[in-house]
Amino acid sequence: MARIVMKFGGTSVGDVERIKNVARRVAAEVESGSTVAVVVSAMSGATNQLVEWCRQVAPLYDNREYDTVVATGEQVTIGLLAMALQEIGVKARSWCGWQVPVRTDEVHGKARITAIDTEALDQSLAAGEVAVVAGFQGIGPDGRITTLGRGGSDTSAVALAAALGAERCDIYTDVDGVYTTDPRIVAKARKLDRITYEEMLELASVGAKVLQTRSVEMAMKHRVRVQVLSSFVDAPGTLVCDEDEIVEQELVSGIAYSRDEAKITLVGVPDRPGVAAGIFGPLAEAAINVDMIVQNVSEDGRSTDVTFTVGKADLERARQVMDKTREKLDWGGLEADPAVVKISVVGVGMRSHAGIAQKMFQTLAAENINIRLISTSEIKISVLIDEKYTELALRALHSAYGLDAV
């Protein structure tokens, strides 16, 4: 019998009626002859509430206790879904991450899955039970509960599909597939039938939260066939697959945005060897990720401005780290701006076609949107702009690249 993994996100299990709806979908899959493992998220909003409670109790909380708290949302939904399945005559049982066990590294708050022991699950599945597994959580080498970072249930599902040798991993969510851009912002966004692992990985990593980045990495590595589809409407979704399974490849496949950016400019930095190391070394030591960087040439040839971006949540810490370098590096001033957004255009067509970046710059110029920073990779161009232009920029670029639905 074919094994499949079905994953349901927060909105899909957002209340009791929706959990019953999920149970009916799972039952239909079981009736069609598949062996099913289900991965669920916490009810929508539940994890945010748990995170907020941690912050209120201790702004600089212990990450191990944070995991103990935020993992509980998924324990509620696995129990409820198992009950809902039993109610309609489907044999089922719930599994917390540690019960499977889903083993992870020790990085509490954003742990990586290192192994999934499937022996117990195999037995349960062989006995005809649906396994309802908690997403987002695992057990660390210290024997304590870990979580995989926000949106981590996608990764739990793909990892489980790989470990179980599942035929496919179906990710049910509140949109019916992967679109050319976020359909909640651009009404003309178009649903993609297929997208390559590479493009999906790039889109996820620059902000398209429909799949967690690590889940795509894992799918690509283990060649798991991932399908993104709606829990509410019966419509074909989007298949994430290899490039050779795609007949007609578009130049640009999608546009993503990330509001999780903050910009820092150090003004009047002496232009001498070792300055970049002096700035970015301490940030790395403080585990602050730096994304985009630009160093301007100064008018006098003696000093320069250095601008870079960090995650919004790291802005204050980055400022503190920089303040400590002031005396040694002798820079003149620091400007911080959290009201920025990163917009990225992604497409494998960029490898072979020139002019895609130029179209982005022209389109933004025509809308009078100033570009603050630019960065590129083989299949992506990102620009940093003022946050207030997010919607305008997305819509204009979407039309300019011919992506609008007709």
Q: How far is the CB of 9 from Mg ion (least distance, A)?
A: 5
Q: How far is the CB of 151 from ligand ADP (least distance, A)?
A: 5
State the SS3 of 173-195: ECCCCCECCCCCCCCCCCECCEE
Q: What's the CA gap between 50 and 70, in Å, rounded? A: 5
- The DSSP annotation for 341-363 comes to EEEEEE-GGGGT-SSHHHHHHHH
Q: Is residue 82 close enough to count as binding ligand ADP by CB under 6 A?
A: no
Q: How far is the CB of 79 from Mg ion (least distance, A)?
A: 21
Quickly count: other Cβ atoms within 10 Å of residue 391's Cβ.
12
Q: What's the CA gap between 405 and 362, in Å, rounded? A: 22
**Binding residue for ligand ADP (CB under 6 A) from 41, 77, 303, 363?**
41
Burial of 107 (0-12, 13-18, 19+ CB in 10 A): middle
Q: Is residue 10 close enough to count as binding ligand ADP by CB under 6 A?
A: yes
Interface with Mg ion (CB under 5 A), residue total: 2
Question: Alpha-carbon dihedral of residues 99, 101, 106, 110, nearest 10 degrees?
Answer: -90
Q: Is residue 14 close enough to count as binding Mg ion by CB under 5 A?
A: no
Note whether 256 and 393 are within 8 A (CB).
no
Tokens 């870990």 locate to 146
Q: Is residue 14 close enough to count as binding ligand ADP by CB under 6 A?
A: no
**Residue closest to Mg ion (Cβ):** 151
Taking the least distance from each CB to ligand ADP, the nearer of 208 and 269 is 208
Using CA atoms, how far residue 317 sits from 67, 112, 202, 288, 292, in Å, is 22, 24, 27, 8, 17
Q: Is residue 137 close enough to count as binding ligand ADP by CB under 6 A?
A: no
Q: What does 179 bind: ligand ASP, Mg ion, ligand ADP, none (CB cut-off 5 to 8 Å by kind)?
A: ligand ADP
**In this chain, which stretch among 115-123, 169-177, 241-249, 286-294 interacts with ligand ADP, using CB under 6 A?**
169-177
Which residues ranging from 115 to 144 are in contact with ligand ASP (CB under 6 A)? 135-136
Q: Is residue 151 close enough to count as binding Mg ion by CB under 5 A?
A: yes
Chain contacts with Mg ion (rule: CB under 5 A): 9, 151
Q: Name the residues that contact ligand ASP, by CB under 6 A.
A: 9-10, 41-42, 47, 73, 135-136, 150-154
